[in-house]
Structures are given as C-alpha cells and as structure tokens.
Chain A
Amino acid sequence: MATLVQAIRLALHVGEERLGVTDIFGEDVGPPLGGVFTQSQGLRTAWNTPLDERGIVGTAIGLALAGQRPVAEIQFCDYAFNTIDLLKLAGGVSWSSAGDYNCPVVLMTPVGSGIRGSIYHSHSFDAQATRLPGWKIVMPSNPLDAYGLLLSAIVDPNPVMLLPPKALLRAKAGPDERIPGEPDDERALAKMIDAPLGDRTRWRPEWPDVREVFVPIGKASVKRAGRDATVVTYGRMVPLAMQAAASVASEGVEVEVVDLRTLHPLDWDAVKASVKKTSRVLVLNEDTEITNFGEHLVRRLSEELFYDLYAPPRLLAGAHVPGVGLADNLERASVPQLEGVVAALRELVSHQP
C-alpha cells in the first residue's frame, strides 16, 4: 500500500518510462536525495537545479515549448510566490498565441500546514493557483488520486499544477485506494522503491509493474454519502471532513463529503448535485480566508442554488494571518481543526430557514 509520496514516485516512474516524461527537476529532486520528501528517488530523468524557482518554472516552459515533457517541482509552495508572473505566462501561452503554441508543463509543489512547518513551510496555494487562467489545478487527498491525477497531468496538453498536501504525504492508502500492480505488503514496496539511508550510489529501485490509472482532471469524488449536509473540500481537509462526518453520524446527522480533487476546471455538476440533495453546505479548506477559493464556491452556491438552500452556505478556512505560527496553539488557531468542523456542521444542520 503506497503512501501518497510513494504514489507520486510511482506515477513519475510510469511517466518517464511510458508516457514520454523527459525531465523531472527541481531543487534536490535528483540524486542523491531524490526530493526532500523522497518523491523523486530512483527516477531516471530526475535532476537537480540551481536554487532558483524562477529558473525552474522558466526552464519548464522552455522545455514544454520545445516539445519535451517536463515535470518541475517547487520544493514548497511557500517559495513559488516569486514565480507568479512566469506561472501567468505559462497559463497564457495558448490563449495569447491564439493556439499557436501550447505549454504542457506539470508543476508539483507541496502545500499546507500540519508538519509543524512554521511560517514558510505551511502556506496554502489554492487562491493563487486558481487565479492563473490556463492552468489546471489538482489536489489529491489520497495515494490513488495522487497517482491517477499525476498521470492525467502528464498527458494533458496544458499546464497542470499538482498540489500535494504535505501533511498527507505519508498517509497510507485506504482499502479501495490501491494502485493496481503495487505489492500487497507496504514493507515490500518500501524495500523495492525507497532509497536506503547512507550511501546510495549503487542503489537502484526495483519498480513494481503498476498499471496506469488516469483519474480524470475536473472530476470530483464523493467520499461519503449523506442527506443532511454537504462538505465541499479537498486536499488535507478531506480526512478531517471524514472524521467530522463520522463524529456527527453518532448524533444521527448524515454528512456527504465531496472531495473536489480538481480545483480548476471545477466539477460544478458534482457540487450542485450534492447540495441540491442536502440543501446545506460547508466549504472547507485551510488557505487564508480572505479572497479564498472557497469564497468563489460560496458565491456560485449563493447565486445558482439560493432557493435550494436551507441555510447560508458557510466557509470554514484559515485565519488571515501572514503565516502559520510554529507553536502548537498558534497552528491550531490558524487552520481548521476537528472540533471547529464538527461545530460548523452542527450549526449548519440545526439552522432553520
């Protein structure tokens, strides 16, 4: 059972062996480290770059324009803010040239809090990413989705950003989230593809014969069905929403959890179908709350489903502070916690129009 970060590695392996990926690159992405989270260990086309995020994004664009298939990484999304204009350019290549060029870049950058990452290893990137027209933005909450979304990103002719939640990178797959072809035993997989500690110069991975699974970009997943309220969420907040749903289930409240998986282009049909059924909706993410992507969802919910709602659509998100503070109390006060989600759900279902 692959962890999310192993699933990313397996997808990159499939990408470079079968789907034409030519370059997997970024800071410390190549040997010997293979990524600060181990995401690119043992990959044939992985290489290290200078410590220059703008150079990474620019080079990825150049490679893509020249017919290569780059997968670039910004080590933490906290360090992608200085690349915004290059990201805008990548998103504008096709539109600005009236379709003359396209820009098939895959950019991976881990996001969010939950690893005690302090101010500059805890930022979210949802709002910035979804303000880049021309990009597709995907955010997995489990290993199989990470694997399948990354494969879909690799074969997409457009720039696609994969935002894996840092706190979930070591999360194990659930029972129905196995990658076809991976070994049953998680220790067996680790032995095959995790680089050993110490000297790695002679180490080569033994790749399992995993099969391709393309999780479609733009398709949400209903993680739990329910009739009383909908939580629309993604990434790190999906497991939290599931826990909250389990918690209120003991009180007789049945919550539906919709994992968007793709932020743009959004699976509005899935959101609409769920909210029309439950008539109550909580949008949940950990990005700062002002000009938050969830506000876009709340706007559409209000505009398009106003007469289907029994309660005001609610957004639960991170505090609008410059970063996530290191101290435990500060992090807990910054980003949504289980108690807060449960409380929001109770309030939502008890609201009387």
Chain B
Amino acid sequence: MRIACPFCGERENGEFTYLGDASPKRPNFAVDSGESPERVEDAFYDYVYLRDNVAGFMREYWYHGGGCRSWLIAERNTVTHEFRSVTAAPGVGASKPVQAGE
C-alpha cells in the first residue's frame, strides 16, 4: 500500500501511522451552560468510544512520521484500500490558520 502525502508525494505505508476515524467532532459545550449533564455525558461517550465499522470509504487520520511529520486526512476504502484523497489535517503548516473546534 502506498499513500500519496500531499507534501512529500507517494510513499510506502511504513512511513505512516494510522490513528483512526477522522469524523468524530469533540462535543462543544461550556461549563454551567445549562446543558443537561446526561446529554453532555452521552455526547462524550459517543465521541470517545463509539465508532462506525465502515465497509467502504471513510475519512481517517494518518500521521506521516517517517516523512514530513504532518497529520493527514485520507479517504480510504476499507474494503479495497483504494485512497480517494489525502489532504493535510487542519492547522498543518504555518501558513494555514487553525480551524475552530479542531
């Protein structure tokens, strides 16, 4: 399997580390915002533990530790290992601003 890093070009997968699903978003809430504790707890339980077992394309975090040391988001088909796209994760590189909530 080879992965086309947006910075380095195509490299062997041994240079990369897999983190997991890139879809979960950290629940956004403020302490004492009036949100019910049960709902916050449920949302965090979802965020931390529950994952879809996708057969097909999913968005995943990959880390190019053996190369440019950037976090990437890849769309990979879990059935065929086909990569549809590999892009830099938000905030990678000094020229890109960090997105709120990431």
User: A and B: real partners?
Assistant: no
Q: Which residues of A contact B (CB under 8 A)?
A: none
Q: Which residues of B contact A (CB under 8 A)?
A: none
